[in-house]
Structure 1
Amino acid sequence: MRGSARIRVADLLTDPLLDGAVTLAGHGGLERPVTDVSRYTATGREPGAAGQGTAGPAAGGEADAAGEPEPPGVEGHLLVCDDTQVTPPHRLDALVRGAQEAGAAALLVAAGRTRPLLSGMRLADRLGIPLLWLERAEPATLLFELGVRIRAHELTRARTVLALVRQLTAKKTGRDILAAAERILAVPLSLVTSDGTPILGEPVTVPPGLRLDLPVPQSAAHLLVHPVHDQEGNRAAAWLAITLERADADRTETLGVALAVAEPFVRSWLTGQRARAGRDAVFQTGLLAEIMAARDTVSRDVVENALSLGWRLQDWHAGIHLTMENSRAREDRDSVLGQHRDGLARHGVHTVAVVDRGDGWALWTSGELEPRPEEARQLLRALRVVITGLPRSWGLVAGIGRARLGPGGLAETLTEARDAASLARSHAFRPAVEHADELGVARLLATWQRSEVTRAFAETALAPLRDREHAHLLDTLRTFLESGGSAVATAQTLGVHRNTVGARVRQIRERLGVDLDDPSQRLALQMACRALDAHS
């Protein structure tokens, strides 16, 4: 039985068997189908793993007893020869010409240190037959392995599964599991969340056609994904993903089976990690509760336990309290909190820990020196930018406490941060982030915006924008003012282009007849917008 024509020369070049092979010439023939593999000798053709026939690929073949020329019998084959057949180098010309005339798919030279002459490569280019070069290969072994790959797909798949099981059984960490699978499969492998964020490996771009809300294996162009199920088995805790440059149908199927084999090993590791994280989370929550209760009278045991976690209680601390209003976001808390911390880190803000406090999560920064006032502003700005860049549907709300010293200071700044988050949650505008330094001003503004005088002013001043046709302009004005007049931040929050914001602001100026560059008018309009929200 002949091999499947689904496999092409370019497909074989992505297979682990030909790892290190280079295409020296004949790139135009890489899409030729490969039906079998044969050894190309000086006198004729030897069959590969299951090949038949003995005719050589030279033009015209050999004559049989009846005097009729025998067919070459290598049409569509990958012909393999060793370095002795290209020594001296000029012999390659005859090999290339003979392979092309016999209808071979490609010529593979399993060579030592021999290098081909330019004439041989030019001939391969002119004839359009791929000339592949692979060092350190043993031709006999290569023939057998390629024969299995081309002609016996089920055997290749079974050997891959066996190799995976043998290797993965001894691996204890997720990184080791993925590294071992990558070595066997010769493809990049990642463990990602449903939006492609990496847990291990590289990030993955999830094409629109994939439904990662459905915990079933899926594929799209250049991507295979397989769910890593949670303990209940009814949803995906993560996804194993393979990014492919190209692969034939048989190799794609083998890789899909390989992901299914690797999944239980990854699931076991991930379950263990989450169990340990859960125990650590309970420990951290209890420890922080002791610090919040004892403040500056914390015991030596508490200090030692804090140091074991990397918490330097004697430092200066600035607390953050973060909440999520979306229940689905809370289910994926590890991913959400991880992206939030990573975003802060990209802005130079490195948090010590994330501790569950029941109504939200406590984060804080620590340092030996008292933070300068501009550092507090940097933290507020970074937090607003990060929350603006994350999905609005998550409903992230944050509060920031003042910088405080020592364990008692940590308790105070986290208390202030929680109060600031409560005030931020009451706002209709986003990003909802407040700083404890602004609480007094915020409460004063809240009193003003609830007054009947402010309400009357708001209805009059904003009347040109309050009809349904111009509701988008009112929303833009509100966001623009709350973003400090930043067109970039406004565009990010609204999910529109910056030029769209500019055009809308010009319309707002014309309809309201106001100068938005005047701080007094901006403040008055901001209070008017808040007053409308407070009475709606």
Structure 2
Amino acid sequence: MNPPRVADLLAEPILAAARVVAGSAGLEREVADVRWWVGEPVSVQDHLVVCGPESVTPSYRLDALVRRTGDAGAAGLLVVGATGRPLLSSIRLADRLEIPVLWLDDAEPVVLVQELTPRVRAPDLVRARTVERLLRQLAPRHTGQDIVAAAEGVLEAPLALVTSDGTNLLGPPIELDDALHLDRPVAQRGRAILVHPVLDPDGNRPAAWLACRVERAAESRLGELAAGLATTEPFLRAWLTAQRAHADRDLLFRARLLSEVLAGRDSVSRDVVEGAVSVGWQLTDWHVGLHLSCDDRTVGDQRTGVPERLRAALVAHGITLTEAVDRGDGWALWSSTEAEPGTADARALLRAVRLVTAALPREWGLIAGIGRPHRGPGGLAETLAEARDAAHLASSHDFRPAVEHSDELGVARLLATWQQSEVTRAFAETALAPLRSNESLLATLRAYLESGGSVVLVAEALGVHRNTVTARLQQVRERLGVDLDDPSQRLALQVACRSII
């Protein structure tokens, strides 16, 4: 292991308050040992020399001390507890000799030397002591917040628990380094960060990452922090396991509760009502249901994150969904309000869901259906049934994300009948022939018609710039010779596009 440099020791917590007053050009000198200066002509080659105020009082004595330690080959000089400030002559001398002079106003010299000496001489011993202290502190901790706080106290460094996408779970925000390979479940060091995987309780994949920001440190300090992260990881994994077990029980309870509400409708039992109140469901309110599913089966154990991402994004549009319950074929979500939602509310919800699903990862293949407002427990069952029917219709589209509203089901079924007729297919072959050789133009036209003529939604759905969409639509107009602003022509083209799927 390479010996620490003076600059590395300055990054140690015990020297956090120290400042460099002279000789900064020598901060990269290696430190082989730490020695207390007693004025004797002893060997201090490559040593960090520590002295008290008596060695630099009066101020001119610092000149002689800098020259003597410099001639003896010292790595640096640390002055502890001096009340004055070095003279300009002392600063210039230290700068010329490139001897770093560190100034620490308030510290106990004996403790300082005792702390620094093993960090230079025996870093393995320091690491072992740190792990021992950490184990004693972590043993009685049971919550993630307490575990991270205890580890921070022992390691004297900011820690955070973050997900692979950078979402902060615990501790202060720490930005992950783009040089890290978070697909590999191994401890890693980035440009200014250490991370250790907190493994998923059910496998070897990282459930999260324990991260520590390190701007500058000796190899021994980095080893100490890495050992501390590895020691803390099992405690966080146990906490995550307990949290997951509690969440699984809670999800199972909510799923069972919803099943009883759907089965009982307006004649739900008192126990069901009490259970609903305990989880914050207002069964007597007006409800608008939403059924969400995704084509991507690789989501796997991240399934719970899909509806939560949707719910969080909808909040930005002023829409709060009360609950999200996994029903096997998708998630049942709904909002509840005391007053009956109006037509404008339904349009706002439909637009918000389309915007939000378009902004989420396209590879998820999101499908959403929205029900009409209904009141009471029976109304909740009714709106969720309508939402599931609308989602089923949305799944028949060849584009993703696909969102349908139950108010449009009648028209959609009529359109489905038309698009299956031989007459419509013949029309489609003729009308869309100029686009059949250019799949990007055809895809843009489909997305434009299905999104209600929104260039923004088309751009998000196709993953291209809005200017690109505008340019493609202009080519479509020119090739087809149609007016896309004409509702009749848009309807005809939409039916034609669906019939050739």
TM-score, with length taken from structure 2: 0.88
User: Which residue matches 1:49?
Assistant: none
1:230 aligns with 2:227: no
TM-superposition CA deviations, 1:150-207 (whole Å, max 9, x none): 2211112111111211111111101111121122223332333343333334364363
Structure 1 pair 461–298 and aligned structure 2 pair: CA distance change class (3 A): same
User: Which residue matches 1:69?
Assistant: none
What's the offset of the Cα at 1:6? 4.7
**Partner Cα distance (1:518, 1:105) in 2:** 82
What's the offset of the Cα at 1:123? 7.0
User: Which residue matches 1:429?
Assistant: 399
1:172 aligns with 2:169: no
What SS does the aligned partner of 2:304 have?
helix
Does structure 1 retain, via aligned residues, the 8 Å contact 2:44–2:69? no
Structure 1 pair 504–299 and aligned structure 2 pair: CA distance change class (3 A): same
User: Which residue matches 1:59?
Assistant: none
What SS does the aligned partner of 1:154 have?
helix
* Residues 402-413 of structure 1: pairs in structure 2 closer than 5 A: 402-413=372-383
Partner of residue 483 from structure 1, selected from 438, 443, 451: 451
Partner of residue 295 from structure 1, selected from 265, 268, 279: 265
User: Which residue matches 1:60?
Assistant: none
Does structure 1 retain, via aligned residues, the 8 Å contact 2:2–2:219? no
**Partner Cα distance (1:84, 1:519) in 2:** 92
What SS does the aligned partner of 1:422 have?
helix
Does structure 2 retain, via aligned residues, the 8 Å contact 1:196–1:206? no
Partner of residue 327 from structure 1, selected from 297, 318, 324: 297
1:210 aligns with 2:207: no
**Partner Cα distance (2:84, 2:346) in 1:** 66
What's the offset of the Cα at 1:115? 6.0
TM-superposition CA deviations, 1:467-514 (whole Å, max 9, x none): 2xx222222332233334444433332233344434433443443344
**Partner Cα distance (2:45, 2:262) in 1:** 80
Could you tell me which amino acid in structure 1 is paired with residue 190 of structure 2?
A
Could you tell me which amino acid in structure 1 is paired with residue 10 of structure 2?
L
User: Which residue matches 1:16?
Assistant: 13
What SS does the aligned partner of 1:207 have?
coil
Could you tell me which amino acid in structure 2 is paired with residue 529 of structure 1?
C
Structure 1 pair 131–330 and aligned structure 2 pair: CA distance change class (3 A): same
TM-superposition CA deviations, 1:374-418 (whole Å, max 9, x none): 333332233223222222222222222222222222222222221
What's the offset of the Cα at 1:428? 1.1
Query: Aligned pairs, how many?
Result: 500
What's the offset of the Cα at 1:105? 4.0
User: Which residue matches 2:465?
Assistant: 497
Could you tell me which amino acid in structure 2 is paired with residue 207 of structure 1?
D
What SS does the aligned partner of 2:417 have?
helix
**Partner Cα distance (2:304, 2:85) in 1:** 54
Does structure 2 retain, via aligned residues, the 8 Å contact 1:79–1:104? yes
Using the TM superposition, name which of 278-287 and 246-255 deviates more. Answer: 246-255
Does structure 1 retain, via aligned residues, the 8 Å contact 2:164–2:182? no
**Partner Cα distance (1:522, 1:95) in 2:** 89
Does structure 1 retain, via aligned residues, the 8 Å contact 2:179–2:191? no
1:81 aligns with 2:51: yes
1:33 aligns with 2:36: no
Using the TM superposition, name which of 24-33 and 153-162 deviates more. Answer: 24-33
**Partner Cα distance (1:34, 1:404) in 2:** 75
Using the TM superposition, name which of 6-15 and 422-431 deviates more. Answer: 6-15
Using the TM superposition, name which of 200-209 and 419-428 deviates more. Answer: 200-209
TM-superposition CA deviations, 1:34-90 (whole Å, max 9, x none): 33333345x35xxxxxxxxx43xxxxxxxxxxxxxxxx6343x33333455555667
User: Which residue matches 2:161?
Assistant: 191
Does structure 1 retain, via aligned residues, the 8 Å contact 2:292–2:307? no
TM-score, with length taken from structure 1: 0.83
What's the offset of the Cα at 1:346? 3.3
Structure 1 pair 274–30 and aligned structure 2 pair: CA distance change class (3 A): same
User: Which residue matches 1:64?
Assistant: none
1:249 aligns with 2:219: yes
Using the TM superposition, name which of 229-238 and 149-158 deviates more. Answer: 229-238
What SS does the aligned partner of 1:215 have?
coil
**Partner Cα distance (2:446, 2:93) in 1:** 70
What SS does the aligned partner of 1:287 have?
helix
User: Which residue matches 1:155?
Assistant: 125
Does structure 1 retain, via aligned residues, the 8 Å contact 2:6–2:29? yes
What's the offset of the Cα at 1:423? 1.3
Structure 1 pair 355–129 and aligned structure 2 pair: CA distance change class (3 A): farther
What's the offset of the Cα at 1:517? 4.2
* Residues 66-77 of structure 1: pairs in structure 2 closer than 5 A: 73-75=44-46, 77=47
Partner of residue 280 from structure 1, selected from 245, 250, 263: 250
What's the offset of the Cα at 1:93? 6.2
Could you tell me which amino acid in structure 2 is paired with residue 138 of structure 1?
E
What SS does the aligned partner of 1:78 have?
strand
Structure 1 pair 340–250 and aligned structure 2 pair: CA distance change class (3 A): farther
Using the TM superposition, name which of 339-348 and 90-99 deviates more. Answer: 90-99
User: Which residue matches 1:145?
Assistant: 115
**Partner Cα distance (2:21, 2:52) in 1:** 16
Structure 1 pair 233–428 and aligned structure 2 pair: CA distance change class (3 A): closer
**Partner Cα distance (1:480, 1:26) in 2:** 67
Structure 1 pair 132–430 and aligned structure 2 pair: CA distance change class (3 A): farther
TM-superposition CA deviations, 1:238-287 (whole Å, max 9, x none): 33233333334333333222222112111111111111111111111111
Structure 1 pair 121–73 and aligned structure 2 pair: CA distance change class (3 A): closer
**Partner Cα distance (2:335, 2:371) in 1:** 11
What SS does the aligned partner of 1:377 have?
helix
Structure 1 pair 362–148 and aligned structure 2 pair: CA distance change class (3 A): same
What's the offset of the Cα at 1:313? 1.7
Does structure 1 retain, via aligned residues, the 8 Å contact 2:291–2:331? yes
User: Which residue matches 2:353?
Assistant: 383
Does structure 2 retain, via aligned residues, the 8 Å contact 1:197–1:203? no
Could you tell me which amino acid in structure 2 is paired with residue 491 of structure 1?
A
TM-superposition CA deviations, 1:108-164 (whole Å, max 9, x none): 343477666788667766776555444532122111211111221111211111121
**Partner Cα distance (2:89, 2:482) in 1:** 78
**Partner Cα distance (2:337, 2:370) in 1:** 16
Does structure 2 retain, via aligned residues, the 8 Å contact 1:197–1:204? no
User: Which residue matches 1:261?
Assistant: 231
Using the TM superposition, name which of 419-428 and 118-127 deviates more. Answer: 118-127
Give the gaps of 5 or more residues in structure 2. Answer: none
User: Which residue matches 1:136?
Assistant: 106
Give the gaps of 5 or more residues in structure 1. Answer: 45-53, 56-71
Using the TM superposition, name which of 456-465 and 504-513 deviates more. Answer: 504-513
**Partner Cα distance (1:224, 1:165) in 2:** 20
